[in-house]
Structure 1
Amino acid sequence: MTLLTDPAINQLMKRPLSDRARGFLRHVQFEGGKVDLSALDLTLNIVAEECRRCGYLHLTAEGETAKLTGLGQAYLDRLMRAH
């Protein structure tokens, strides 16, 4: 397992994430770090997949729940410090 040092996090932060995906990450954070995708619009599943590819969300095997990862939390924390 590789430790995520500042340079490693900086590399991951360079991955492009759309405005909509950043908003979705914030929504997941406000919901306590976990969201039921089956109750959401189908287009949000595409956004959740974008976040998963960057490592910011974990989707359950059934694809019904999205959970914020530690990296996703670090990403949001860094965004908050930047704004």
Structure 2
Amino acid sequence: MLYNLSHYVLQCLDYVDNTDIYKDHNKMLQVKDAEFNPTGHQGVYGGYQPWVNRAVRFRSLGDGQVYFGAAFSKWQRLILTAGP
């Protein structure tokens, strides 16, 4: 399974908790950032807004809401305990 941090943000899921749940299935890590900024008018399914006005967007690394330190630490622990 490809573990993509940005997609978990866009789906409003806890990507660190998900790492533990699917640790036997996560084989690849894709590093992308994203943001989710809902309003009273739009959420995940925000309609036909221009890209800059959408509630969910991909961002440059470090500009979104992915906390890479927590995710990478979790992955490092999983790799070290998995063995060959």
Normalising by structure 2, we get a TM-score of: 0.31
Q: Larger C-alpha radius of gyration, 1 or 2?
A: 2
